[in-house]
Structure 1
Amino acid sequence: MRLFVAVTPPVDALDELRAATAAARSAHPDLRWTRPDQWHLTLAFLGDVGADARADVAVRLGRTAARHAPLELALRGAGRFGERVLWTRVDGDLAGLRGLAASVRAAARKARIAVEDRPYRPHLTLARGRDGADLRPLVDALAGFAGRRWTATEVHLVRSRLGAGPDRTARYEPVTSWPLTGS
């Protein structure tokens, strides 16, 4: 089962972002826009995970969530990874979010799941471009977006089913969730 671990903004924060990106979505149908119902902040991508490792990592993620407090976050502005990915950035308790992501990756490693070892860059992916796409005008257009603050209270283990969504997009299905209950 292909899995990742994520935090999901509440519906009203996603509605703000959907409204802020509506004109850009209409003006740039050539981009592969992510579906708002699947917007999330990835903490770690786990890849294909077998049943035994899945059970082990689930226990470890539950303990991880219990050690971390809820996080005050907001979505703000936009940025890009080259010409391939348009995103909105995360603001707020970034130290706490980075700490949570590091703990999630450590839990995965202890469950013998290989995860990328690179700096965590908190963001929410909005769209993917094809080679040569110029995302700079979209970054400029969304620069003024400032979403309201919200509290992340849960961590989710999510299944990714490639090609199972509308128009052969990925479908994300929650597997398990744990509350952030630490102090």
Structure 2
Amino acid sequence: MNRMFVAVIPPESVSADLDEFLAVRRDAAAFRWSLADQLHLTLAFAEHVPERSLDDVIERLETAAGRRTPFGLTITGGGAFPDVTAGKVLYAGVEADPADELDRSATGARNALAKAGADVDGGRFRPHLTLARTGQPVELSNWVRLLDAYRGPSWTVSSFALVHSRLGEGPRKHPVHEVVAEFPFG
């Protein structure tokens, strides 16, 4: 069984810009911060992808990506899950142009995983990049206001990736993310 997700991975320059914005602020909170090289926008997540389904997953994701067209994306703003008054996850938001192409990419990725036999987790698609986890519920309003002042460089999304995630195997017990395959649009 494999723990996998389909994601849009920002270019290194985009991740570096956000990382620079957060760097001088991270010491203000004892959060578990995401590593800059692991920032991603999850389109679909499956806790258990059977090994026997992997070829089918790849084939279906290739088909799904082929139906998409490139779109613009910008990291901007932020929020907290489950809410800002008792947040456990701090995230950066995104703006897509056109917005419906991001939603269609997520729907296609979710359907591809499900049709290949993977149990797709999560409810409604809420596009975001996880920045930090708190462990305990924390008032995050000030952090969200800070993120509302951030607008990163825009880029064109022209693919998504299938990523294998191994929990706790990286430095300081961070997950290790390995790109299994990348799927170009169109």
TM-score normalised by structure 1 residue count: 0.94
SS for the counterpart of 1:131 is strand
Question: 1:4 and 1:92 mapped to 2: Cα distance?
Answer: 20
- Match 2:174 to one of 169, 172, 177: 169
> Deviation of residue 18 (structure 1)?
0.7
Question: 1:23 and 1:137 mapped to 2: Cα distance?
Answer: 15
Structure 2 counterpart of 1:121: 126
The 5-angstrom pairing of residues 40-59 of structure 1 reads 40-59=40-59
What is the total number of aligned residue pairs between the two structures?
A: 180
Runs of 5+ consecutive residues of structure 1 not aligned to the other structure:
none
Structure 1 counterpart of 2:90: 86
SS for the counterpart of 1:138 is helix
> Deviation of residue 58 (structure 1)?
0.6
The 5-angstrom pairing of residues 33-182 of structure 1 reads 33-81=33-81, 82=83, 83-93=87-97, 94-116=99-121, 118-181=123-186
More strand by share: 2
Question: 2:137 and 2:113 mapped to 1: Cα distance?
Answer: 35
Question: 1:51 and 1:130 mapped to 2: Cα distance?
Answer: 32
> Deviation of residue 169 (structure 1)?
1.1
Contact 1:24/1:138, CA 8 A, preserved across alignment: no
Contact 1:39/1:124, CA 8 A, preserved across alignment: yes
Structure 1 counterpart of 2:26: 25
Aligned AA for 1:113? Answer: A
Structure 1 segments of 4+ aligned residues over 3 angstroms from their partners? none
Question: 1:116 and 1:70 mapped to 2: Cα distance?
Answer: 25
Contact 2:45/2:122, CA 8 A, preserved across alignment: no
Percent of residue pairs identical: 38
TM-score normalised by structure 2 residue count: 0.93
> Deviation of residue 117 (structure 1)?
5.7
> Deviation of residue 92 (structure 1)?
2.1
